[in-house]
Structures are given as structure tokens and as C-alpha cells.
Amino acid sequence: MNLIMLGAPGAGKGTQAQILSDKYGIPTISTGAIIRSAIKNGTPTGVMAKTFIDKGELVPDEVVIGIIKERLSESDCENGFILDGFPRTIPQAEALDNLGIKIDKVLDIEVDDSLIINRLSGRRECPKCGATYHVVNNPSKSGDVCERCSSPLTTRADDNPETIKSRLNVYHSQTEPLIEYYKKKGNLAVAEGEGSLEATTDAIIKVLEG
């Protein structure tokens, strides 16, 4: 099963991708996580990408397309994958089409902008394994450390009110057109994402399994 998670920042793409990944035994590929790891390691791509991420802007298409091509060619993607945060622009979606990989479903998780700031400012992330939490809605069972790998949880640098605003603008202008793009292709599925984490998972499973 090859899936794409669509939705605004903070809609719950990463959290739901993690759940689906465990359920179906297929990897989640988060371009954001790959870029953050490149920044942490000080690679040339990371140094360049940081200037965009810090402003809440998108990293150039050719860079993320290169990242995703390389990652999708790895053997663990053979039985399926979940893309979290890619594609984010029409040219990225077209580049994915050109790879000739069939996408079974594109899941659009819908959440109103008014909920996003609260969701993102309470978000915590494990810098080691990428697991995501929310201080109120989805706290780690182990407190301030990751319940999967025991690493101390951190707040993402771009989860601050100023950058969140710019990320939301970028989402509406550059990523939202993908909803129409996939609707036309016939593989878009919409899941309501404003309820609890469990309610959103149920809505997603329903559209995936019927």
C-alpha cells in the first residue's frame, strides 16, 4: 500500500502516519524529518535547507525531489510506504508521478486553521526516532522522554507562532492545490481531523479499509 498524507502543518499527518506505519508494517517517509536530520548533521543540503525551514518556507523542489527519489529506492519501500510531508507542491506531485510508482490513496486530514497554533505549540518531538507527541492531546507515557526510545523530547524550532503563520500561508498557497490535483486523479480520501487522535485514526481506517 502506497499512501500520501496531505493536510496543513499540525493536522496530525505525522502522528497518524506513525499509527498506520505500525499497523501495516510499512515505513513512514517524512521529508521534514530527513531535512532536520541533515541540518543536525551539518551536511551541505542541511545548511542550505535551514535558511528555508527557519522562515517557514518550502525547501526548493529539486532538493526534496532528490531526497524522496533516493529514499523510495531503498528496499524497505518495496511493500509500501507512507509519505508524510511530500508532495507539497504541484511540481513535486508531478515528479512523483514520473517515477511511475502507483499511489493507492491520498489521505487529506482536514483541520481548521484556528486549531493549528494550539496543536503546533504543544507539539513535542523525539529527535532520535521521530515520534511525535502533544503535551495535552497525546502525551508521552514516559513523561519528558520518548516512550519508544527514551530520548529527551524537544520542541521543533519552527513550531513558534511567527513561523507557524508563514507555514500556514505556504500550505494554503502551494500545497492545498494538491487536493484538487488528486481529486481529479480519483485517489483522494478525506478524513476529518478535528476530533480526538483516536477518532481521526478511525476515520482514516474507514476510508482505507472500507
Residue nearest to ligand AMP (CB): 32
Helix axes 90-98, 61-72, angle to 10 degrees: 30
Least distance from C-beta 196 to ligand AMP, angstroms? 21
**Sites for ligand AMP among residues 4-33 (CB under 6 A):** 9, 30-32
Residues sharing a CB contact under 8 Å with residue 42, sequence separation 6 or more, in sequence order = none
**Binds ligand AMP by CB under 6 A, chosen from 2, 15, 18, 92:** 92
Residue 53 contacts ligand AMP per CB under 6 A: yes
Torsion-angle region of 149 (φ positive above 0: left; ψ -120 to 50: alpha; else: beta)? alpha
- Site track for ligand AMP across 62-81, x = CB under 6 A: --x-----------------
Number of alpha helices (DSSP H) and beta strands (DSSP E) in the chain: 9, 7
Burial of 139 (0-12, 13-18, 19+ CB in 10 A): middle
**Binds ligand AMP by CB under 6 A, chosen from 12, 85, 130, 193:** 85
- Contacts with ligand AMP by CB under 6 A: the residue count is 18
DSSP calls for 79-97: T-EEEES---SHHHHHHHH
Residue 148 annotated among the catalytic residues of the structure? no
* Active-site entry in 13, 71, 119, 124: 13
State how far the Cα of 71 lies from the Cα of 28, in Å rounded to an integer: 11
**Binds ligand AMP by CB under 6 A, chosen from 11, 17, 29, 59:** 59
Residue 156 annotated among the catalytic residues of the structure? yes
Residues sharing a CB contact under 8 Å with residue 151, sequence separation 6 or more, in sequence order = 126, 127, 128, 129, 145
Residue 58 contacts ligand AMP per CB under 6 A: yes
Residue 193 contacts ligand AMP per CB under 6 A: no
| Cis, peptide link before residue 91, omega less than 30° from 0 | no
**Binds ligand AMP by CB under 6 A, chosen from 17, 35, 106, 153:** 35
Residue 36 annotated among the catalytic residues of the structure? no
**Binds ligand AMP by CB under 6 A, chosen from 119, 123, 134, 167:** 167
Positions in the binding site for ligand AMP (CB under 6 A): 9, 30-32, 35, 52-53, 56-59, 64, 85-86, 88, 92, 158, 167
Active site amino acids: 13, 88, 123, 156, 167
